[in-house]
Amino acid sequence: MATDIKDTAHAVEAAAVMRLLPGRPRLLALGEPTHGEDALLDLRNELFRQLVEQEGYRTIAIESDCMMGLVVDDYVTSGTGTLDEVVVQGISHGWGTSAANRELVRWMRAYNVRADDDGRPAFERLRFAGFDGPLEMTHAASPRQALTALHGYLAAQVDADLLPCTADTLDHLLGADDRWTDPAAMMDPSRSTGRSTEAGQLRLLADDLVALLDAQTPHLTAATSWDDWDRARLYGRTALGLLRYHYWMADTSPARMTRLVGVRDQMMAHNLLAVAARGPALVHAHNSHLQREQSTMRMGGMPLEWWSAGALVSAQLGEEYAFMATVLGTIRHRGVDTPPPDTVEGLLYALPEDRCVIDAPRLATALGDTRPVPRVSPWFGYAAFDPAHLADSDGIVFVKDVPQGP
């Protein structure tokens, strides 16, 4: 059996990944089982460079605020801002301080201007996208930025009589932003403004604004650029998603947290489908957001189950969505030591390679009736691979040892 397992391993290269798939997927999703390790982000960067240079990929989408990501996209496509500014202002969750994320953005900008002083033509330029909602563990953003940006775009292009409200009306209904971002609302639904009279009116107005955007598509795509119209659609998706998220933050039923995690992944899925419309893209996020199977977790002792962004997108794109789970051997600086030999991680740890791409369905076949047991993670920040997902993954990227970063 050991020989069979070894035969499923290949070097971590774009070509090896593509050989596992029936064709070039529109979205190639690379998961990670933990956040904040630059060694994994360096691997992501290396794979993205190969996908760009060898397979024609032009976009990378990462688990970061979709509105903030516009700052990075503006920089890599047109040079707006400085590198130091945009990685902090354009990448959420504090991950803009990562050296690997900074290098990704630097390389993308350099690639886009490499051809000549005028840069590459628009269809060849690399694009950056955050595909998470404007959400943090402690709070959700105010819908102000997305709603007012959508209204401003429409107000500049369509007859004022078609608009469902004025900018002043939106401003009045939105009120102070700290009404929306109170961190206490995450644990106390009574502190949320999501079911106030004003929030209800905003949901209706947001729906009307998005409907107007759709109804005026022929005019808007002729009067503005496709990118401007596409960005306005992002504003609309985000406004509706945030208002829905805030609504469920105010919920007092037992389904509250399940609704919240589900709404977040639904927002992610809608953003990923929009990214897919541009052309082939590499997607990078936690394994749990990208897997095809139902995601599960415990929060406050309560089990939660919901469909991840990857599951939702895969249901629509079929073979144009591919998922590669990243699996780790050790993260010793986090207390994650050598995996037990009867786990998937332990079986792969016995291979000589420091990192490799694994043909997951073939590995499942090679194991036959040998059923690996789930690894128990000693650290809350690392999610071990569920062996029940082996046959349903397109592949595995295995990293033997994750070194401590600087």
CB atoms within 10 A of CB 230: 14
The predicted structure's pLDDT at residue 121: 85
| Residue 406 scores a pLDDT above 80 | no
DSSP state of 405: -
Positive/negative CA dihedral, 250, 252, 256, 257: positive
CA proximity to 202, closest of 234, 241, 260, 233: 241
Cα–Cα–Cα angle for 190, 288, 301, rounded to 5 degrees: 45
In the chain, what percentage of residues exceed pLDDT 70? 98
Tell me how far the alpha carbon of residue 386 is from its chain's centroid.
21
How distant, in Å, are the alpha carbons of 27, 150, 209, 236 from that of 146? 25, 6, 11, 7
Residue range 277-298: mean pLDDT, rounded: 94
Residue range 298-311: mean pLDDT, rounded: 89
What letter represents residue 178's amino acid? D
What band does 235 get if pLDDT is binned at 50, 70 and 90? very high
| Residue 4 scores a pLDDT above 80 | no
DSSP string, 47-70: HHHHHHHHH---EEEEEEETTTHH
The predicted structure's pLDDT at residue 115: 60
The CA distance from 325 to 288, in Å, is: 9
The CA distance from 135 to 142, in Å, is: 10
Burial class (CB in 10 A: 0-12, 13-18, 19+), 64: buried
Residue 226's H or E segment, with its range, is helix 226-249
The predicted structure's pLDDT at residue 2: 46
In the chain, what percentage of residues exceed pLDDT 90? 88
Q: Which residues, listed in sequence order, are joined to residue 304 by a DSSP beta bridge?
A: 297
Residue range 336-342: mean pLDDT, rounded: 96
Residue range 335-355: mean pLDDT, rounded: 95
CB atoms within 10 A of CB 365: 13
The predicted structure's pLDDT at residue 297: 85
What band does 294 get if pLDDT is binned at 50, 70 and 90? very high
Q: Which strands form 355-358's sheet, in the order they lie side by side?
A: 9-10, 355-358, 395-401, 321-330, 27-32, 281-286, 59-65, 127-132
The predicted structure's pLDDT at residue 299: 78
The predicted structure's pLDDT at residue 3: 43
The CA distance from 34 to 331, in Å, is: 10
Q: In the predicted model, what is the mean pLDDT of the chain? A: 95
What band does 1 get if pLDDT is binned at 50, 70 and 90? very low
